[in-house]
Amino acid sequence: MQGHSSLNVIDISKSFDTVCAVSQVSFEAQPGEILGLLGPNGAGKTTAIRMIMGIMRPDSGGITFSFADSNPTKFRERVGYLPEERGLYGEAKVHDLLVYFGELKGLKRAEARHRATKWIDRMDLTDWANKKVDKLSKGMQQKIQFVAAILHRPDLVILDEPFSGLDPVHQDLIKSFIAELRNEGMTVLLSSHQMNRVEELCDRIFLIHRGRRVLYGDLGEIKESFGDHIVHIRFQGDGSVLSSLPGVREFEQSDGRANFVLDQAHSPNAFIRNLPKEMAIHALHVDRPPLHDIFVKTIEGRNHEAA
């Protein structure tokens, strides 16, 4: 796979004064995949992204791109970036601004105009095309920034918290656009704290904590490797008997509902066979732990080790 990856990060490190922000981080991303870059606040995500973007230079290690050699102009044309710190030229008109950003990315004016109009339409902002950016709500500006990152159809797009500040409807809209870009063969690097969104979108994840790699790999495999299952039950009858079944941990119940963890040594099949016959079950949901739990547990575990 090495030869096909569009982004290759090899052993990069960066320190500020005495603080080590990123330490020996390596990962790669292929065309047509979404790689989630996750980590708690201050883990080194933004520093890593800035190094990939060439805004900062790593102290050691290297970053290579299959779509652009070391020519920075060519690189800037082929990459798109939605920074975490948002900002636009407030005095400019929406359409003009997108055309300007498109042209700076190497698009011909006519092409940039055409695409800007199309995307303003898709973002449901047609009535705002000739308004000043300042007049737009925060969510609307966010959509404009997203368009600015992808208008030129880059080979690699880096999206830092693309969902923050958006209502659920627009989160879904942006999510569908991100999936569309992946299907068109773009390499997407997605950084977000919204674990449910990451879970829905990412093919693989890279979890970084205190500048170091904690987890890296296929999302499904990572979830498998955590082994435990999470069980939600709705039922009628006495639920306390559930807590004494083999493999049940972290049991919680409240009027006709119970949530607990089924230990990895016990299969869901065996658990279901052991359910008491007199209990009337309305709903039963067994799943791998959500990414949220994996994230929290892994980070807490690391903090514990360090302490």
Question: What is the contact surface with other proteins in residues (CB under 8 A)?
Answer: 50, 53-57, 72-73, 76, 79-81, 83, 85-92, 100-101, 103-105, 145, 148-149
- The 187-191 sheet, strands edge to edge: 79-82, 156-160, 187-191, 34-38, 204-209, 212-218
Q: Of the two residues 103 and 172, which places its CB atom closer to other proteins in the complex? A: 103
Distance in Å from the first CA to the final CA of the chain = 38
Q: Smallest distance from the beta carbon of 156 to other proteins, in angstroms?
A: 11
Tokens of 91: 């005095």
Q: Smallest distance from the beta carbon of 163 to other proteins, in angstroms?
A: 18
Q: Smallest distance from the beta carbon of 64 to other proteins, in angstroms?
A: 14
Q: Of the two residues 91 and 278, which places its CB atom closer to other proteins in the complex? A: 91
Q: Length of the chain, please?
A: 307
Q: Smallest distance from the beta carbon of 87 to other proteins, in angstroms?
A: 3
Q: Smallest distance from the beta carbon of 200 to other proteins, in angstroms?
A: 26
DSSP secondary structure string for all residues of 206-230: EEEETTEEEEEEEHHHHHHHH--EE
* Burial of 203 from C-beta contacts in 10 A (0-12 / 13-18 / 19+): middle
Q: Of the two residues 54 and 256, which places its CB atom closer to other proteins in the complex? A: 54
Residue corresponding to tokens 């739990």: 293
